[in-house]
Amino acid sequence: MSDADLAIEHLRSMQPGAQSAPGSTTAQSAPGAPGGERTISSDLSVDEAILLDEAGYEPCGMVTGSAVYRPSIFGRYASPGANVELAALSGALHEARRLAMSRLVGEAEALGAAGVAGVRLDVRGAEGAGRDMEFFALGTAVSRRGSDSRGAERVFTSNLSGQELYLLERSGHTPVGLVMGVCVYHVARRSLGSWWSGMGRNIELANPTTALYDSREIAMSRLQQEALQAGAAGVVGVRIDQRSHVWGSRVVEFVAIGTAVTGTAAPGMALTGMAASGTARSYLPLGVRFAVPLDDPVRATDPRRLLGG
């Protein structure tokens, strides 16, 4: 049992007449552990576990999803002088991440979870396998206290920490799921004339600058589109990652990942949560506004304008 699970059980033991709820970290219904207890593992910190417990969530266990993928060797090539997206690679890397996430969700559904918190979605080269890549998703499945979510319409996924999910609940919003945008982009080489004229000078490299702006914009627009399709009101906790993997410096992947959220309480409307002791608590939602709308326009970038040229 992790330190976070022990912390929750200690807090519950301090409540007068408190008993472990079904699905808690020491639930008696699961066989296999000494005394019939079910031991739960999680990657939650103590702070995260306590705040999620305060918000009415129970940890169900760690869940994972993996996919080993081999992108087409021909997908990485483009004209040397072209700044252009490599659409085949973009699609392949998005599909590989989707497969890993769908398997993580499948494990969470089998545990009767309502969602998965703290999802980490990573990619690395498969050991000794050349251009093969392993996509790996890891998170902690959580359920609503006193309920079993088996057969629920949707298990939410989120890359938010336990503290962030707690504040999200306090704001009156609920997580819909993890959304992402992927763009693999080929960076054009400089022309011979450009290379020669820049010899011995401090200059901006226009092709890489434009490629970085455009690929980030494409990745973000796809993340926003996924959120819109899910009926979300906004995306929080967005993280952008840039990697070249095994393709060299002329090919770069941008990945934008965040948690789509929806729903908000009306101003002044009280929300209700269930504490570990079983008592209901009411509180007013925090005032939250999304700074960036999901339908903001895609903008092309000319790096010369950044320098006033």
User: What's the confidence (pLDDT) of residue 43?
Assistant: 83
* DSSP summary character for residue 74: G
Distance separating alpha carbons of residues 243 and 212, to the nearest angstrom: 12
Contacts of 6 (CB under 8 A, 6+ apart): none
Residue 285 has pLDDT above 50, yes or no: no
Cα radius of gyration rounded to whole Å, the chain: 23
User: What's the confidence (pLDDT) of residue 31?
Assistant: 38
Tokens found for residue 19: 């008993």
Q: Quick one: which of 172, 138, 156, 141 has its CA closest to 52?
A: 141
Q: Is the pTM of this model over 0.95?
A: no
Q: What angle do CA 114, 137, 228 make, to 5 degrees?
A: 65
Residues 82-90 have a mean pLDDT of: 87
Average model confidence (pLDDT) across the chain: 75
The burial of 87, by beta-carbon neighbours within 10 Å (0-12 exposed, 13-18 middle, 19 or more buried), is given as exposed
| Top-confidence range, 37-51, 70-84, 122-136, 225-239 | 225-239
For helices 46-54 and 162-170, angle between their N-to-C axes, nearest 10 degrees:
20
Instruction: Give the pairing of strands 156-157 and 115-125.
Output: parallel
Name the percent of the chain lying above pLDDT 70. 61
Contacts of 264 (CB under 8 A, 6+ apart): 171, 172, 173, 233, 285, 288
pLDDT in tens, 150-182: 555 689 999 999 889 988 888 888 899 999 999
pLDDT in tens, 241-261: 988 766 767 888 899 999 999
3-state secondary structure of 198: coil
The domain made up of 62-304 is a member of CATH 3.40.50.720: no
